[in-house]
Structures are given as C-alpha cells and as structure tokens.
Amino acid sequence: MNRFAHFVKKESLHILRDVRTILVVIGIPIVLTLLFGFAISTDVNNINVAACAPHRTAAVRDAVSRVSHTPLFTFKGYVAPDEIDKVLRTGTAEAVMVFADDYDRLVAGTAEVAGCGVQLVLDGSNPNVAASASAYLMQTLSGVAAASPIDTHILYNPQMKSAYNFVPGILGLIFILVCAMMTSISIVREKELGSMEVLLVSPVKPLWIIAAKMIPYFALSCINLLTVLLIARYALGVPMTGSVGGILLISGIYIALSLGFGLLVSTITDKQMVALLISGMVLMLPIMMFSGMLFPTENLPLVLRPITYIVPARWYIDAMRKLMIEGLAFGDVLLELGILAAMTIGIIRVALMKFNDRLE
C-alpha cells in the first residue's frame, strides 16, 4: 500500500504542478454551467409585441395590459392594419395581436356569430421565437377569452428553462473530458516519455500504476460534480428534488465508466495527440449529438436513433434528468443504472484485457 501511496502522490503532484490544466479542469465545468444557465439559452425572452385594434375597448385594453405586464413581453404600442407588415419586417415587433371588431362581445360570449377574437401575426424568420411567442401569447390571452379550448399545464419545469436540461448534459460531457481524456493522455504521456518502461521494470504491478493515475482524476471529477450541482441548485435554481444519493451513485458509476474509456483509449495509441483526437472524436462528439444533451433524441432521424442506445451518456443524462428535474425516487432510474453498470463493467473488462495484452 505504501508503494501505491507514493504513486498517488506522484500523480497528484503532476496535476497540481500544472496550474493551467487544473484551472481548465476545475474552471470549464463552472463556466459551461453558467454559460448554459444564463447566457446561452434557448429560452425566448423580451418578445416585442404590438397590437392592432379598430376600437380600443375595455376588453382590448385589458388583454393588452395582461400581455404588457408579463415579463416575457415588451409592448410596443398600437399599430394601424397597414403597418403590421412594416413593424414585423423592421423587427420593431416579433408579434402583432390583431383584435376583432366585436372582440368585447366575443369575450363576453354575446357575439352574434362565434369566431376568433384575436389573430396573432408572427415573424416566422426565427421559428424558435415565433413558436414560443405564439404559445406564450395564447396562454396569456386565453385567460381573457372565456371559451379557451386548450388548457395546458407544463409539469416539472413549468417555466421550461433550458438550463435545467443542460446541467445533466454538461456533467455527462465533463466526466468524459476529465476522466477519459485526461487519464488517457496522462497514461500515453508516460509511454511517450519512456517512463512507462522504467516503471514496468520496477516491482510495481502495472495495474497499480494505472489505478494510481485514476485516483486524482476521480477526485477532480468529484469536485466537478459538487461544483456543478451547487451552481445548478443555488445559482440556476434547478429543483433537485429527487434522490441525492441516487445522483451521487449514478454519477460515480458514470465516472468509473469514463475512467475505463480513458484506459481503453490509452491502450490503443502511444501518442498523446492521437489519444486527444480519439477522446474528442469518438467520445465527445457522440455525446453532443446522440445523448440528448443538446438535441432531444426523439428528434433524430429514425435510422440514427438506435445509436443513442449505445451512448452511455444518454442513459446517464436520462437518469440525471429524472432525478434532478422530475424529482423521481432512486427506484425509478434502476433501468438506466443497470445499463450504465453493465456498460461500465464491460468497458473496464475490455480495457484491462487490452492493457494486459499490450504489456507482453
């Protein structure tokens, strides 16, 4: 055990002496979480809305005031019917509410012919904004119109904040970055330096050398996990009502899996650059595309969807969303947990087999 401790100390010193790397490893998760939480957001805010009404009756004024009091909208004033096209084209407004002549009576339910009270005219050049604006406006206005046909409730993330969704994705990415990429580079660096040869001639078991390398990165990952969870909870307000033990356990398994990937990559190559490329292309890219981190897996073409089943991050992100956002109990993520555990055991077994093969 004494020998092992010497190795862990050596690996920790390598990391601690490399201040730039440690700043990147600790800093990137924080920056990413804050960026996705605050700056990069698919949420639509500050939608400029104008109104077009032949008569500014009490009901119209009431509807307009509801809209303008919602923080999502900025009311840009009334426009004439022939100005609608102009305000949308110039970008003065993203949406225009056109009120019917008999809007008062339609709202009151005393109209001679039932029909639409409000028409929404939207700038569709940014479909995301248009879709959100139309949904928000309908929701806001439906409170006015008595005969609203749709009653929508959004559960778990009622404000539909994208930050909630990103936090598990960021964790899924960070652990691959820190564990798989950094560990593989660190092992391959020893091969490149020639120090691996010196270590192999010593009485230390090869597996101990590798295990000693993993411990500091495991510790770093735990720091990452804590910082991201704390930021998510206290800065972004992610509810985290689910099982905290479950979050930690499933993250632990995913970290072990990432370390296994790192070892596997290091057995494939003797060059740091290649290790970096493999980690980047073969591990990071699928996480971005196929794990549901950025794009919902349901949006993928049918032929590509099976790929998501073999991307471990997909299961991790799914489970974390359930635990962090939906507030489910630990028992509800057993499927994801089982799949991840099986993948982890598989990866580590293959990595160890390849590692032992390479030694001879």
Partner 1 sequence: MENIISVRNLTKQFGAFRAVDNISFDVAQGEIFGFLGANGAGKTTAIRILCGLSRATSGTGSVAGCDIMTQSEDIKRNIGYMCQKFSLYEDLTVLENMELYGGIYGMHRKEILAKAEAMLTELEFWHHRHDLVRSIPAGWRQKLAFTVANLHAPKVIFLDEPTGGVDPLTRRQFWGMIRRAAAAGTTVFVTTHYMDEAALCDRVSIMVDGRIMALDTPEALISKYQVRTMDEVFRTLARNAVRNE
Establish if 215 lies at the interface with partner 1 (CB under 8 A). no
Taking the C-alpha atoms of residue 103 and residue 116, their distance in angstroms, rounded to an integer, is 9
Taking the C-alpha atoms of residue 144 and residue 63, their distance in angstroms, rounded to an integer, is 6
Least distance between partner 1 and beta carbon 357 (Å): 13
Residue number with CB closer to partner 1 (82 or 357): 357
For residue 159, give every residue at least 6 positions away whose Cβ sits within 8 Å of its Cβ, in sequence order, or none: 43
Taking the C-alpha atoms of residue 164 and residue 5, their distance in angstroms, rounded to an integer, is 40
Establish if 198 lies at the interface with partner 1 (CB under 8 A). yes
Q: Across-strand partners of 121? A: 96
Residue number with CB closer to partner 1 (128 or 195): 195
Across the beta sheet with 73-78, what order do the strands follow? 73-78, 47-52, 95-99, 118-122
Residue number with CB closer to partner 1 (215 or 348): 215
Residue number with CB closer to partner 1 (107 or 210): 210
Map the footprint of partner 1 across residues 250-309, applying CB under 8 A. Answer: none
Establish if 150 lies at the interface with partner 1 (CB under 8 A). no
Beta strand ranges found along 53-190 (DSSP E): 73-78, 95-99, 118-122
Establish if 152 lies at the interface with partner 1 (CB under 8 A). no
Write out 149-185 in H/E/C secondary structure: CCCCCCCCCCCCCHHHHHHHHHHHHHHHHHHHHHHHH
Each residue 174-193 as x (binds partner 1 by CB under 8 A) or -, in order, gives -------------------x
Three-state SS at 290: helix
Least distance between partner 1 and beta carbon 199 (Å): 8
Binding segment toward partner 1, per CB under 8 A, in 13-21, 37-45, 143-151, 320-328: 13-21
Binding region for partner 1 (CB under 8 A) = 2-3, 5-7, 9-10, 13-14, 17-18, 193-195, 197-204, 360
